[in-house]
Amino acid sequence: MRNKLMSMLVLVLLAGSAAAADNGMLTLQQALQIAVANNPGLAQAGAKARALAEVPSQVGTLPDPVLSLNALNLPTDTFSLSQEAMTQMQVGVGVTLPFPGKLGLRSKEAGYEAQAAQFGVDETRLVLGRNVRATWWNLFYLDRAVDIVRHNQDLLREFVKIAEAKYRTGQGMQSDVLLAQVELSRLLDVGIGLDAARRSQAAVLNALLGRPANSAVLLPHKADEKLPVVPEFSALHDIALQARPLLSAQRERVHAAQSQVALAEKDYYPDFRVGAAYGYRRGYNPNGSPRADVSSFTLSMNLPIFSGSKQDHALAQRKAGELDAQYGLQDRLVQVDSQIEQALADYRADREKALLFKTGIIPQANQTTAAMLAAYQVDKVDFLNLIRAQVTLYNYETQYWKVLSASWQAWARLQAAVGKPLAQQAADKENQ
């Protein structure tokens, strides 16, 4: 019985290295690729950007010319085309010419808005990648926690059998049996909670991947445990200024607002309308000669005489809009710096914890548990201390996977805050 107990304990201690094959599992890279291809939110942002990209050409083109067909000066008594010399059938064409510079400004404004929308797509993709990474790693942690709980449940069942056997032979106490049963029941309760949490996280990941919520999600049993060294805040800040799509989009909105101000200033000047017409006449002049056809040319313009109540207020509105865009850029800069600092602090703390668990606490707890088991076999340690040692090891193993997952989630937030992958920067920093 005790040999079987030792075998079960060895299985628990080596559970992390005895992972099964990962064929057919959903890797993190595969999850990211599926999300980019299938996520409806990203597809919606892309469709909006494509729609806005079609606007600059439209607003930068002259209005369509107007064709007119007119019957002028028809006598109402006969409606004859030859009775009056002024009667004519006219065909004309006219076009509106905005004041020079207006079309270019409208096209530039629309172009800036279209570019901002494209940066919005990049930002949506960045946030999607962050959420997929965070959810995937949280799901990976839950899988490891479930595995550890199940292994410990099997081990505690053996503990219960040993305690019952010793109690029946008078070598143990009933309290040992009850203690082992309580710990087993507690782990069963923990397992129920972990299973529910995993189903919930799987549904979240499926939503990000654009799949049905109840689709099966199977993750590999192994993942990267080597946490990279992170650059300093100042370096991350400089990278974000150039790489973060959120900032680039807002800069484009600032340019668009500036174009709107320039366009509002142009509205103090008139637009023009030019036209030409050809008039066909019938009948004869008093001297017997046929009436000549006639041509007409027109030039008209609007008169912005109500500038005090119209153009002045429009210009003030556009200037306020420019200030709004400028303040929006400043606000986003503050947000990005805050996101970087928070993610950096979380990553560094969780990374240190993960290294401490992996290189110090868990190896020491393994040695303690093995020593406790050896001592228990020769009746030098009571059953309570053995249970406590095993529970402590279980807690440490679970906490390790939790902080490792938290580290990679913080790393995902940090990369999203900066706006680009940091693997190369981290590797360069580590090799210095």
Per-residue pLDDT tens digits for 27-48: 999 999 999 999 999 999 999 9
Give the separation between CA 341 and CA 233, rounded to whole angstroms: 7
pLDDT band (50, 70, 90) for residue 391: confident
- Looking at residue 56, which CATH number applies to its domain? 1.20.1600.10
Which of 288, 303, 318 represents a domain boundary (last residue)?
303
Of residues 376 and 138, the one with the higher pLDDT is 138
Which of 245, 278, 303 represents a domain boundary (last residue)?
303
pLDDT of residue 90: 94
pLDDT of residue 15: 41
- With vertex at residue 45, the alpha carbon angle to CA 31 and CA 211, rounded to the nearest 5 degrees, is 35
| Same domain for 45 and 71 | no
pLDDT of residue 190: 78
pLDDT higher than threshold 90 for residue 19:
no
| Same domain for 282 and 185 | no
| Same domain for 178 and 92 | no
| Same domain for 84 and 205 | no
- How confident is the model over 138-175, as pLDDT tens digits? 999 999 888 888 887 777 777 667 666 666 666 656 66
pLDDT higher than threshold 80 for residue 424:
no
Q: And the tokens for 155?
A: 């081990």
pLDDT higher than threshold 60 for residue 427:
no
pLDDT band (50, 70, 90) for residue 2: very low
Mean pLDDT of the residues in the chain: 85
| Same domain for 418 and 324 | yes
| Same domain for 264 and 277 | no
pLDDT higher than threshold 50 for residue 429:
no
pLDDT higher than threshold 50 for residue 431:
no
Q: Euclidean distance between the first and final Cα of the chain, in Å?
A: 54
pLDDT of residue 371: 78
Q: Which of 81-85, 156-160, 235-239, 258-262 has the lowest mean pLDDT?
A: 156-160
Give the separation between CA 45 and CA 43, rounded to whole angstroms: 5
pLDDT higher than threshold 70 for residue 22:
no
Residue 334 carries which side chain, given as an amino acid letter?
Answer: V
pLDDT higher than threshold 80 for residue 351:
yes
CB 398 within 8 A of CB 354: no
| Same domain for 34 and 166 | yes
The residue segments making up the domain with residue 277 are 64-97+270-303
Cα separations in angstroms, 89 against 146, 276, 290: 90, 14, 16
Q: Which of 90-99, 298-307, 369-378 has the lowest mean pLDDT?
A: 369-378
- How confident is the model over 112-138, as pLDDT tens digits? 999 999 999 999 999 999 999 999 999
pLDDT higher than threshold 90 for residue 13:
no
- With CA atoms as reference, report the closest residue to 408 among 141, 127, 199, 181: 141
| Same domain for 150 and 127 | yes
| Same domain for 328 and 388 | yes
Q: And the tokens for 96?
A: 């509106």
- With CA atoms as reference, report the closest residue to 208 among 36, 35, 30: 35
Q: What is the dihedral of CA 44, 50, 52, 55, to 10 degrees?
A: -150
Burial 307-333 (b: 16+ CB within 10 A, else e): eeeebeebbeebbebbeebeeebeebb
- With vertex at residue 123, the alpha carbon angle to CA 119 and CA 128, rounded to the nearest 5 degrees, is 145
pLDDT higher than threshold 90 for residue 184:
no
| Same domain for 333 and 284 | no
Give the separation between CA 281 and CA 158, rounded to whole angstroms: 114
pLDDT higher than threshold 80 for residue 224:
yes
| Same domain for 82 and 170 | no
Average pLDDT over residues 331-348: 94
CB 56 within 8 A of CB 111: yes
pLDDT band (50, 70, 90) for residue 339: very high
3-state DSSP percent of the chain in helix, strand and coil, to 5:
70, 10, 25
**pTM of the full structure:** 0.80
Number of structural domains the chain divides into:
2
pLDDT higher than threshold 60 for residue 6:
no
- How confident is the model over 76-107, as pLDDT tens digits? 888 888 888 899 999 999 999 999 999 999 99
pLDDT higher than threshold 60 for residue 18:
no
Average pLDDT over residues 219-224: 87
| Same domain for 283 and 310 | no
pLDDT of residue 166: 65
Give the separation between CA 15 and CA 207, rounded to whole angstroms: 31
CB 153 within 8 A of CB 296: no
